Amino acid sequence: MVILYATEQYHPLQTGTATADYGLSKALAQDGHKVYVLTSDVFNHAGITIDIKRQGKACEVQGHRALEIAPNLWVLEFHIFHDGQEWQGELETYLDFAKNFACDLLVNSSFFTWNCDVLLPHLATCKAKKKFLRNHTEMPNIAKKPAKKPPQSKLTQLLKTIYHKSRGIKHPLDPLETLKMQLRQYDKILFLHKNSAFYQHLGQEADLNLDILPNGVFAKDICPPKFLPPPPPPPPKSPPPPPPESRLDPHQLSPHALLEQLCQNPFILNVSNYYAEKGQEMVLKAYYASHAQMPLVFVGSLNRGHTLDRLKALKTHEDGVHGFKEVFFFYGIGRDEVLKLAKHATLFLHASTGNYESFPMVLLESMQFATPFICTPVGNARELAPELVVQDIPQMAVKINALLGDPKYYHHISTALHQRIQNFAYEEIIKKLLAF
């Protein structure tokens, strides 16, 4: 099959959406399908703007430059950015390409993104044989009724009726109703899990063809269950211990060398971009409140505002309150190094409060490596592992102690996660996608 895949965020960008869309498109390409990904050459979101550098064999596809980044997988970039008010750039060029590219399947990624919004009114004229929308975003308040508007006078109502009739408008529609009408042009609308508020709300529309297609991992990358590493030997009674300082000095080692050293011993991991709503402060406070002595490692690819600086200042404060603990901050390291840390981690902590998250990829990757995790009730965390969901700092600290203090419980959780991840293999997910 020839597949056109449109997404706002894509590899090598390290966001949940980019990682998920890259994984699915790569799985389709490895299955022998020709996959063409339409995306932007910049990341312009949440107050962060960065240029994206991609590498691959250059060629031309339908008059547009494309990069072959893997066998059967091409990326076509469009310079599309947000100016603070609306999307700007090569929107018409993108629309013209997407409409006129003859393919077996069009997959458009997520509501309320430029790639979806620009194409939505024109779906009926697209040359794709089938058109699917795959949604990553969550809207927890979508079902709430808007505040009641004050009553209008009869004169106002009459004037509005005359205005709409003069323009052939039978009844003014709100934006959500307009969206529902346009969504009917899709052959299938796919959500990441059945408890999504958006899925449940749109499920009330009988003529919208909804289904579930989760995020996934590759079966070959699934690792066996882990055992809790033995605690380090107690320090010698003499001579007196040196002043509290890190045994791994991040100022003396390169990020790569520091990472290699960390992977030789147990450590706790958090992987989230440095945004306030990602909850790194909660993770740090719970770590200091727990009995954990192994290092805590933070990893983020993007940093909004002064989140990372505030986190480092909080670490210094916690040292003063609870005593020194080893904490390391990685920023902007490569995807392969992130995955290496995830594979070697003893415990994974996630405390996001982002209500836009539907299916955190970091939890799947933790399960992929059979690493027990503790997380807040974000997205579908309760579906993945309800016994590992916590509400606040004290609960997270207690759960850290429970997992790191009981080897049998630790291995039990690791085994359970290993069994559950089998249901999220890309090899099976693409079979479901192509069978629709």
Q: What is each CA distance from 366 to 140, 263, 338, 384, 411, in whole angstroms? A: 25, 15, 12, 11, 14
Given this model, what pLDDT does residue 166 score?
45
Given this model, what pLDDT does residue 280 score?
98
Higher pLDDT, 344 or 243: 344
Most confident residue range from 133-137, 194-198, 353-357, 374-378: 374-378
pLDDT at residue 66 is higher than 90: yes
pLDDT at residue 227 is higher than 70: yes
Residue 401 confidence class, pLDDT cut points 50, 70, 90: very high
As separate numbers, helices (DSSP H) first and strands (DSSP E) second, the chain gives: 15, 18
Distance CA 48, CA 57 (A): 29
Given this model, what pLDDT does residue 394 score?
98
Given this model, what pLDDT does residue 15 score?
94
3-class DSSP state for residue 210? strand
pLDDT at residue 249 is higher than 80: no
279-313 pLDDT per residue, tens? 999 999 999 999 999 999 999 999 998 999 999 99
Residue 174 confidence class, pLDDT cut points 50, 70, 90: low
Given this model, what pLDDT does residue 165 score?
46
In sequence order, what are the residues at sequence separation of 6 or more whose Cβ sits closer than 8 angstroms to the Cβ of residue 252? none
pLDDT at residue 367 is higher than 80: yes
Higher pLDDT, 201 or 340: 340
Given this model, what pLDDT does residue 182 score?
80
Distance CA 25, CA 64 (A): 20
- Alpha carbon 88 to its chain's center: 24
Distance CA 343, CA 259 (A): 12
261-279 pLDDT per residue, tens? 999 999 999 999 999 999 9
Beta strand 347-350 pairing with 373-375: parallel
Q: Are 370 and 224 in contact (CB under 8 A)?
A: yes
Given this model, what pLDDT does residue 207 score?
82
The mean pLDDT value of the chain amounts to 90
Q: List, edge to edge, every strand of the sheet that includes 188-191.
A: 57-61, 64-70, 73-78, 34-40, 2-6, 105-109, 130-134, 188-191, 210-212
Domain covering 219-424 assigned CATH 3.40.50.1970 in the classification: no
Tokens of 56: 């691959």
Residue 154 confidence class, pLDDT cut points 50, 70, 90: low
3-class DSSP state for residue 364? helix
Given this model, what pLDDT does residue 167 score?
46
0.75 cut: is pTM over it?
yes
Given this model, what pLDDT does residue 137 score?
85
What CATH number labels 2-143+175-213? 3.40.50.2000
**CATH 3.40.50.2000 domain locations along the chain:** 2-143+175-213, 219-424
Tokens of 139: 């809207």
DSSP string for 151-199: PPPHHHHHHHHHHHHHTT-SS---HHHHHHHHHTTSSEEEES-TT-HHH
Residue entry with tokens 């269950």: 225
Residue entry with tokens 């509400």: 391
The burial of 100, by beta-carbon neighbours within 10 Å (0-12 exposed, 13-18 middle, 19 or more buried), is given as exposed
pLDDT at residue 216 is higher than 90: yes
- Nearest CA to 223 out of 67, 70, 419 is that of 419
3-class DSSP state for residue 119? helix
